[in-house]
Structure 1
């Protein structure tokens, strides 16, 4: 069984994340979506809220793709999380060159820590390249419309949080 791990903070999950999840399902038999606790980023949504949002989208995508999708919160090293869930592949999404520079360093470090876990990069679809959770939150906080960037339930959660 090919197991992939798609890690992120998902604060909140966006249409860009969903695009990467959908495409990653074509590559693996089981996709684990690792929701990072990441207290350093000071997330808008609690871990429980982010996990619930990701689970709702994952359930729909699992039915759509026929791939087993599991949501797994983690607060340890990414490579340790990969080992914990028996992932052979870490899936990362890339939007721009700046993403690649950071990810390139991460891959190098992870290869030293465990060379048996491969990293696969998926380029964001052109429709989603500009979407970043940070920007979505900023737009929502300032009263802008984020319906083109997130699903309806996530939009509602943002509206509620910023009301």
Structure 2
């Protein structure tokens, strides 16, 4: 088994993200989750809040694997962050054909830059396919119920953010 690297903004973490994390732990001994940080963007949740969501998701669903997950911040190229983390796999979740087309291009570029790192695609469960963090943020901001799309603790955090 290998060390894998899974990236995203996770702002907020969705059920789809969590599904990919749990699947990744089926193919990797260790998982490093890289939360992308962009100085030009202001996320809804802090890095620490997002990291806590991810850690909690693993602890609640696969408590025996919680110690196999590390959450880090990174900026720059994901392939460089994966290399720095000592990963031999990059994990990417796929919801649909649009994701597939984009991710194939990224995998090709990453393979050219770091041929020692393999990209692994993990399919989203059908219930997770329409979910994106952007849509969850928009629905929550307009007072909609996002409980079907995120874990309970993330839904509560979204309600608290928008109650202010």
Q: TM-score, normalised by structure 2?
A: 0.92
Matches within 5 A, 1:85-104: 85-104=85-104
Residues in 1 aligned to 2:12 and 2:52: alpha-carbon distance in whole angstroms: 11
Give the count of matched residue pairs. Answer: 163
What is residue 72 of structure 1 aligned with on the other side? 72
The DSSP-based 3-state class of the residue aligned with 1:25 is helix
Residues in 2 aligned to 1:66 and 1:40: alpha-carbon distance in whole angstroms: 32
Task: Check the 8 A contact 2:2/2:88 in 1, yes or no.
Answer: yes
What is residue 156 of structure 2 aligned with on the other side? 156
Give the drift of 1:59. Answer: 2.8
The DSSP-based 3-state class of the residue aligned with 1:107 is helix
2:31 matches 1:27: no
Residues in 1 aligned to 2:24 and 2:67: alpha-carbon distance in whole angstroms: 10
Residues in 1 aligned to 2:63 and 2:79: alpha-carbon distance in whole angstroms: 28
| Consecutive unaligned residues in structure 1, runs of 5 or more | none
Give the drift of 1:64. Answer: 4.9
- Tell me how large the CA RMSD over aligned residues is: 1.7
Q: TM-score, normalised by structure 1?
A: 0.92
The DSSP-based 3-state class of the residue aligned with 2:70 is strand
Task: Check the 8 A contact 2:59/2:65 in 1, yes or no.
Answer: no
Q: Which runs of 4+ in 1 moved over 4 A?
A: 64-67
Task: Check the 8 A contact 1:58/1:70 in 2, yes or no.
Answer: no
| Consecutive unaligned residues in structure 2, runs of 5 or more | none
